[in-house]
Structure 1
């Protein structure tokens, strides 16, 4: 009797353990990826065979192979497109149209080929990245490290949309608010009256920059644990990866205007007060940004440049993301980007990218020229900055100039 009872107990416990492993496997791998490429644009639903769930084994390679196989069945490398195609089913189109919540805009879907000029532009930008990264004469911190060597905290700008197979590295002051809005719409992470939000401009600014709205690489560790880095590399291989950049000096001007010429209590306390104490002979600057603005006290653009060049700045903390170099935010020598957009050509590049991603019938890029800092303003802004400081600043941001094809600003550096 005792042996039989003990045997039944072991069977029950063993079954419960196996069920628990299956649940964990589903939560960590299956559930987070099951909705890859459920069609959201007008057109027939593409049936995919349900993934074959297998219980965990004690062999790690088998688990990682399952992850690879699951992602591979959906995507072709670097396209973000389903690998299987299904003929269009024209039956019951009226019923199907009732089910769709995305407006029908078939007239806009890839009806004409992308202009050769735009394709060549992207090829040139990608090739330049590869050449600069392979050029031993161009040296900058972290250039030659492997992806595995990048700390997790430095991967928080990589936003992942599993639904469409997209990875976006956002760069502050380069239309990142609108691209984050696009990612929220595509990932359907924001609901409006029970339905996914479809209008990017209707997303409030506080939600746009709310980290809970975006699934970024630095969150992989919490979800996938020791398998996080492997899964990152799988998605980097299979998903379409893009970023947008702009002239590095113009980006600095835009950051200064936005954070120090406008009332921003957080940036005033964290950065402006430091600049005023160090460089503006203000040992006791006003306690709040409102008091500072009332008194007409704020750091000048020249003070801002001094702050960037001061070795003490990086000793205290890494550069804030609004003026941190793009190579430090997006790691272009470790990640092979499929699309490199420039803010200077954002409208053409945005349309090209959305067509490439096959979501141009789902969402449009919301263009805005409000407070757009122009490159023609550089000479005026840098007129108060000593020439030697300008040259030191160029050295600090030279990797971004070289990587993304921006000309050395000779007129500013040689006055």
Structure 2
């Protein structure tokens, strides 16, 4: 009996030592990534003033249980009120007056009329086109057949997540992305105004709407979740509603040129215009400031811009800027099955349909404002200074976007010698 009891105690001691070793090894392996999991998954820090943003506070050291709870919460259904869907943390510290002004979100609005059949068919057609072109070999482009796991982390920066409502938005610059970013901020309740979440999208300044710390994007998962990042991305891609808005590729290029090179933008002048002027406009020493350049009439032309896009040296130096990078490179439509594809040309109808599909049309409306859109009728004027062969090369560069998103080949530009204006 004595020998049996001693062996029993030895086994207990050895078993306890083994469990402690396992816990130590486990914590060493995943602790670095779990330390971020106690933070709620919000697109950015709360901001008391839309113009002067507060810096995020340094997180406290998490407990093991809080880490596990936060990790489990990522897999719960959004919009249920259970623990992934709490009120903003600041709400509990607001004044009674602020609490009276706060109106809780009212999801699941009941609609008395069905969505128009035309709108449903439009979405079905756009999604079917994407699926077909991604599945067959009639269209090829770099990265088409890679898996989601093979997409570099830096190429996931345009996917914005709203965990409150289970939404993923891939933003494409020059396609109403400012207003859609505003809507994502309102839905995530990540911006405070007078102590309560901002409800008016158009009250959010442009610089705040585009501020990186206002949005939680896929490329930030690695810092927060470590080795679990890619798995959590896939979970959210499977469960959440994913959407993007696109635009005729050539008209988007014209819009980008007008916005970034015809206005005084020091950042784009220094980073791009000076390079274009030196390479294609024979300005060996362009002015240092955009104000001086405009005063001297030294600006790149649209032809210079097209030459810059077609020059192989451009991509050797660095990837295209997001304002003229192809949509398929920004949003990866052959790796991500989008639930909604909006077009800028039908923006109002598509936005109303989408917000209703997301069941947030009682929370926010898509801002209706005058858009300085480049007309299709003016497209020929813009390309009249571009040689025919260069136009055809440019189409090849952006052909995947034309075909994936259902835009007709611009034959009037690609097959005709346009008169210079």
TM-score bucket (shorter structure): 0.7 to 0.9
C-alpha contact (below 8 Å) 1:109/1:360 kept by paired residues: no
Structure 2: state its 5+ residue gaps. Answer: 1-12, 44-62, 83-98, 417-421
Q: Note closer, same or farther for the CA distance 1:364–1:286 as it changes in structure 2 (3 Å cut).
A: same
Q: 1:104 to 1:165 in 2, by over 3 A?
A: closer
Of 15, 32, 38, the residue aligned with 2:40 is: 32
Separation in 2, partners of 1:369, 1:340 = 22
Q: How far apart are 1:33 and its partner, in Å?
A: 5.3
- The 3-state SS of whatever aligns with 1:182 is helix
Q: CA deviation at 1:101?
A: 3.0
2:150 aligned with 1:142: no
Tell whether the 8 Å contact from 2:33 to 2:226 is kept in structure 1 after alignment: no
Find the aligned partners of 2:311 and 2:335 in 1 and give their Cα distance: 28
Rounded Cα–Cα distance in structure 2 between residues aligned with 1:241 and 1:99: 34
In 1, Cα distance between the equivalents of 2:33 and 2:310?
Answer: 49
Give yes or no for the alignment of 1:302 onto 2:303: yes
TM-score (norm 2): 0.79
Deviation at residue 137 of structure 1 after TM alignment: 2.5
State how far apart, in whole Å, the 1-side matches of 2:116 and 2:369 are: 24
Whole-angstrom CA distance in 2 between matches of 1:128 and 1:265: 40
Separation (CA, whole Å) in 2 of partners of 1:318 and 1:23: 35
Q: Which residue of 2 aligns with 1:152?
A: 153
Q: What is the 5 A alignment of 1:56-135?
A: 70-74=73-77, 82=80, 101-102=102-103, 110-135=111-136
Deviation, 1:23, is 10
Question: Which structure 1 residue ranges, 5 or more long, are not aligned?
Answer: 1-6, 36-52, 58-62, 76-80, 85-97
1:14-46 per-position Cα deviation (integer Å, ceiling 9, x unaligned): 7xx89x9799998644653599xxxxxxxxxxx
Name the CA distance, whole Å, in 1 between partners of 2:105 and 2:192. 20
Q: Report if aligned partners of 1:102, 1:362 keep a CA contact under 8 Å in 2.
A: no
SS at match of 1:32: coil
Correspondence for 1:349: 350
Hey, what does 2:52 align to over in structure 1? none
| Alpha carbons 1:25, 1:56 under 8 Å: kept | no
Do structure 1's residue 369 and structure 2's residue 370 form an aligned pair? Answer: yes
Aligned residue for 1:236, secondary structure, equals: helix
TM-score computed with the length of structure 1 as normaliser: 0.80
Across the two proteins, how many residue pairs are aligned to each other? 360
Find the aligned partners of 1:236 and 1:224 in 2 and give their Cα distance: 16
Task: State the alpha-carbon separation in 1 of the partners of residues 341 and 137 from structure 2.
Answer: 22
Equivalence for 1:39: none
Q: 1:295 to 1:120 in 2, by over 3 A?
A: same
What are the within-5 Å matches in structure 2 for residues 384-399 of structure 1?
A: 384-399=385-400
Instruction: Describe the SS at the equivalent of 2:40.
Output: helix
2:359 alignment partner in structure 1: 358
